[in-house]
Amino acid sequence: MTASFVYRRSYRGPVVACVFDWAGTMVDHGSLAPTSAFREAFAAFGVAISEAEARGPMGRAKLDHVRDIGALPAVAERWQAARGRPFDENEVQAVYADFIPRQVATAGAHADLIPGAADAAAALRARGVRIGATTGYTRAIMAAVAPRAEAQGYAPDVTVCADDIAGRGRPAPGLLFQAMTALDAWPPAAVVKVGDTVADVEEGLNAGVWSVAVTETGSEMGLSLAELEALTPEDRAARRLAAADRLTRAGAHFTIPGVADLPEVIDAVEAHLARGETP
């Protein structure tokens, strides 16, 4: 038997694009806006949910997020007791319709840039990296966020929202693929995805790109900047390590406290690429 040569292509160029999540990554330290809106929406139907229950599916498209909360056995039981009927798709749509205007209001009120976000994006652009974004937010929600972020110095070249594509949202890779197409960013090994949730990490992995997770500014920590800075150094370190462990176990290639630390990660990614290593 004659052995045959198999060519294996290896991309060894630079990072060409970085695609960020929004809440918890670039704006809204602690990803506080979605949590409060979900709790208020369920409470409007007489069903209380905890912060942990509201945060559990964070990063998903918001309609899927409502479905996931209602599918929790404890929430489903409370819903049945309060409403006298199961949490079916009709109930999902009712809660979602109540949620959207609440989320628009809270997202706009929590649109402050996370420290270092604008500088990190500017540093990437200075080295020729294109900037994109994907989000579980809808276009209506982003209309309350994007102008405020731009006024503070951050405006990605493209943002793909949960309702911009048909089919499954994150962790499916469709949003990220659309962002990559709009940015003319390829191959996947030349792209970095940055987010704060397991859904973000899995979105990157499912698209075949480098997946970077922030630990201190997002939903895993769940604290405002003031709350984070009020922690003792020991408590802050322990909580950061716990968040890093969860996100690393989800598959993140790198974890960093926040996006201010991203330029060093891009250097590390490009060193891997130069050696012919891929995500």
Q: Which residue has the tokens 């990296």?
A: 129
- Helix or strand run (H / E) with residue 17: strand 17-20
Residue 263: predicted pLDDT = 94
Q: How confident is the model at residue 102 (pLDDT cuts 50, 70, 90)?
A: very high
**Is 250 annotated to bind ligand?**
no
Q: Are residues 132 and 231 in the same domain?
A: yes
| Catalytic choice (21, 28, 64, 98) | 21
Query: What amino acid occupies position 236?
Result: R
Model confidence pLDDT, tens digit, residues 236-258? 999 999 999 999 999 999 999 99
Residue 152's domain comprises 17-32+113-274
Model confidence pLDDT, tens digit, residues 55-73? 988 888 899 999 999 999 9
- Chain centroid, CA 270 distance in Å: 23
How far apart, in whole angstroms, are the C-alpha atoms of residue 245 and residue 187?
28
Residue 1: predicted pLDDT = 56
Q: Is 21 an active-site residue?
A: yes
Cα–Cα distances in angstroms (integers) from residue 235 to residues 52, 227, 260, in the given order: 19, 12, 21
**Is 23 annotated to bind ligand?**
yes
| Catalytic choice (28, 62, 64, 193) | 62
User: Domain ends where: 58, 79, 109?
Assistant: 109
Q: Is 193 an active-site residue?
A: no
How far apart, in whole angstroms, are the C-alpha atoms of residue 104 and residue 108?
6
CB 107 within 8 A of CB 28: yes
Q: Are residues 95 and 200 in the same domain?
A: no
Please, where are the H alpha helices in 5-112?
32-43, 51-55, 62-71, 73-83, 89-109
CATH at 48: 1.10.150.240
**Is 112 annotated to bind ligand?**
no
Does the global pTM surpass 0.85?
A: yes
Q: Are residues 98 and 227 in the same domain?
A: no
